[in-house]
Amino acid sequence: YRLGKLNRAETTCGFCAVGCRFEMWGKDGDSLGVVPIEDPDSAPANNFSTCVKGKFGHEFANSRKRLTRPLVRNDAGEFEPTSWENALDYVADRLSEIQDEHGVDTVGCLASSKGTNEEAYLVQKFARQVLGTKNIDNCARLCHSSTVAALQQTLGYGAMTNRINEDIGHADAYLISGSNTTESHPVLATRIKQNVRDGADLIVFDPRKVGIAEHADQYTRTRPGYDVAWLNGLIRYLIENDLHDTAFIERNTKGFESVKKKVQAFTPERVEELAGVSPDELAAAAETLAAADTVVFGWAMGMTQSSHGTENLIAMADLALTLGQVGKEGAGLSPFRGQNNVQGGGGDMGTLPGSLPGYQDPADDDVGEKFAEAWGERPPEEPGLKVPEMFSEIHEGNLKGMYIVGENPALSEPDVTHAAEALEQIDFLAVQDIFVTETAEYADVILPAATSPEKHGTFTNTERRIQRVRPSSDPPGEARQDWEITQALANRLGYEWDYDHPKEVMAEISSLAPIYGGVTYDRLENGDEHGLQWPCWDETHPGTPYLYDYEEGNFNFDDGLARFVPADGGHPGELPDEAFPYTLTSGRVLYHWHTGQITRRVEGLMSHVGESFVEISPETAAQIGVEDGEYVRVESRRGAIVVKATITDRVGNGTLFIPMHFAAGAVNKLTQENFDPQTGIPEYKVSSVRVEPL
């Protein structure tokens, strides 16, 4: 479909997982601007505004640096344009050759959390059905895989339990940790700040005094890497002082005694020693949370990206269960997920090793047979490689080919020097993207794709709400829709996929993934409420605002009971020492997004923050001998970068912060390959470094 000259489309923001809704205008193939939809009854968060990224960030789609033709690397090592026929044949032939010679599992695929659900579904289907490989993953591995694992173990579903507007916007109290909400999820933060102005209590525990902490009733600076300690300390305090919800615990949970025993060791003194939280701060937070009728627990990658990430979030879930703050209005466990479609494309669609669409187990015979009937063959039953394992296996010579869609591991992996060596070494790499990203620089073939203002499909936001995405402009030049490219590859490899529109893909998803069973484009476009929250079991089901029920429980286990699970914690993988005396954390800034491959191309955003920097406290800056605005060399055991110093008390003495968005001054040259054993999420938030003035 080619669009006319001036277009208006009601669509969903392509940046973060708040999932703001707006009208986007396009003209002559370019995106012109967005207009928020003012609808006070509308479910998505932004019935009043959008943030700066949502409003201006779409200009990247108009960039003259967009890929417009397939590129293939020639004998001289340079990229040269080629036809789609040649490019697709080349990808299909090389993947086949590698599999014929070395085995099906010597290739792997990375799907995108930025693309639509329908595109992500097709990439995992391409991996499992067409290539027959078990190696499919996506960058949710690097952001909230520990959240998913923890909530699955304790509550049943690995997702937000509640809603943005009605619950996060109306809690009596908040405990937010490891989330720079103001800069990463700005519209959601506005909801919280409005409610705090109206009297809600806000508690922020974080190593860095992030923007949302400026609005807090209690901000407590924590020591990076010791979140289980203060969470267990809070649980201990609540139990010791009889502030726990005994009726809820007895009615709806099991395993409480095991957690009660575990937290005994987390005395206030031990919590202070490990996490840097004083007994008074611990008691104050516990008393505030216990006094509130409803509490929202919010977190992001400050909690998840740890070698104890899963245990951090198990402890958070234990705390919510101890207080009985699940399954009622204004309360719940609320992971603030990052990319626009990381809930859907990064998990719901089965782009994970060992998880089919709808989080179904490929080893389950009923599930396997259902997919076999639909696809003609059963998907691989064993879990495949996680993203970091794929890079290790390239180094070992066991993974020889990759098809990477819309991901940029050359900047997003920990210890990127090691990742770059793997990309250099791999036999064949096909990258499907909209720019020549840092990862595409290593490719043998680059396939030019479309981006969110150019797509039909659906995104699923952080509250499990499936929403329509519509195009206001066309992809540039010969660039194609991602689903069309994946389908063309499947066709070349002998599979007769013949989808004409993403809605046909959604029909297949609905038929195979029960939690999406009642999702149709007709309902999404013509339903009473905007979007549908999963699980939505069939076409008469209204969707599920609350995953569980305070009175009835209804946790996603056979007996309906939530599980208390003891969490241990421990030390991070690296501690400061004489050679590397400072602790580095990383994160986001308001004007950029992820590895910056999109936002670094928007002049308006670059004019606010145009380069990487390191935040240093005044005391640490004095130790180092550096002034604000001077350049410094930051070095870890993995590598070194040069960045500008920003002297600020946002960070504590001995802790540094560097944003994750820049290729020059890439923070992941410094981060460590130390992983959470349960999920493989890297410990981005704790690395030991030294700093020298230039």
Helix (H) or strand (E) holding 39: none
Residue 185 found at the interface with ligand SF4 (CB under 6 A): yes
Give me the torsion for CA of 90, 91, 92, 93, rounded to 10°.
50
Question: Using the rule CB under 6 A, which residue among 9, 16, 171, 385 binds ligand SF4?
Answer: 16
Q: What is the CB neighbour count within 10 angstroms for residue 65?
A: 10
One DSSP character per residue, 262-304 reads: HHTT--HHHHHHHH---HHHHHHHHHHHHH-S-EEEEE-HHHH
The answer to whether residues 398 and 429 touch, using CB atoms and an 8 Å cutoff, is no
Residue 486 found at the interface with ligand SF4 (CB under 6 A): no
CA 68 to chain centre: 28
The minimum distance between CB 340 and ligand SF4, in angstroms, equals 7
Question: Using the rule CB under 6 A, which residue among 26, 158, 186, 380 binds ligand SF4?
Answer: 186
Size of the site for ligand SF4 (CB under 6 A): 14
Residue 418 found at the interface with ligand SF4 (CB under 6 A): no
Q: What is the CB neighbour count within 10 angstroms for residue 83?
A: 12
Question: Using the rule CB under 6 A, which residue among 46, 195, 305, 412 binds ligand SF4?
Answer: 46
Mark the segment that binds ligand SF4 (CB under 6 A) among 65-73, 185-193, 329-337, 608-616.
185-193
Question: Using the rule CB under 6 A, which residue among 7, 50, 486, 636 binds ligand SF4?
Answer: 50
Residue 466 found at the interface with ligand SF4 (CB under 6 A): no
The minimum distance between CB 186 and ligand SF4, in angstroms, equals 5
- 3 state DSSP class of 418: helix
Mark the segment that binds ligand SF4 (CB under 6 A) among 13-21, 117-125, 205-213, 665-673.
13-21
- Tell me which residue has its CB nearest to ligand SF4: 54
Site map 139..178 versus ligand SF4, x via CB under 6 A = ----------------------------------------
CA proximity to 337, closest of 17, 681, 671: 17
Residue 20 found at the interface with ligand SF4 (CB under 6 A): yes
Q: What is the CB neighbour count within 10 angstroms for residue 397?
A: 12
The minimum distance between CB 129 and ligand SF4, in angstroms, equals 33
Decide whether 10 or 508 has the Cβ nearer to ligand SF4.
Answer: 10
Q: Alpha helix locations (H) across 109-144?
A: 117-125
CA proximity to 126, closest of 447, 586, 542, 425: 447
Q: For residues 121-140, which are near ligand SF4 according to CB under 6 A?
A: none
Residue at 128: amino acid letter:
R
Question: Using the rule CB under 6 A, which residue among 7, 11, 15, 667 binds ligand SF4?
Answer: 15
The answer to whether residues 538 and 518 touch, using CB atoms and an 8 Å cutoff, is yes
Residue 187 found at the interface with ligand SF4 (CB under 6 A): yes
Decide whether 48 or 521 has the Cβ nearer to ligand SF4.
Answer: 48
The minimum distance between CB 46 and ligand SF4, in angstroms, equals 5
- 3 state DSSP class of 168: helix
Q: Write a three-state SS string for 319-345.
A: HHHHHCCCCCCCCEEEECCCECCCCHH
The minimum distance between CB 14 and ligand SF4, in angstroms, equals 8
Q: How many Å apart are CA 431 and CA 417, to the nearest integer?
A: 19
Mark the segment that binds ligand SF4 (CB under 6 A) among 172-180, 182-190, 398-406, 602-610.
182-190
The minimum distance between CB 461 and ligand SF4, in angstroms, equals 8
The minimum distance between CB 187 and ligand SF4, in angstroms, equals 4
Residue 585 found at the interface with ligand SF4 (CB under 6 A): no
CA proximity to 479, closest of 502, 439, 449, 440: 449
Question: Using the rule CB under 6 A, which residue among 26, 29, 54, 384 binds ligand SF4?
Answer: 54
- 3 state DSSP class of 403: strand
Binding residues vs ligand SF4 (CB under 6 A): 13, 15-16, 18-20, 46, 50-51, 53-54, 185-187
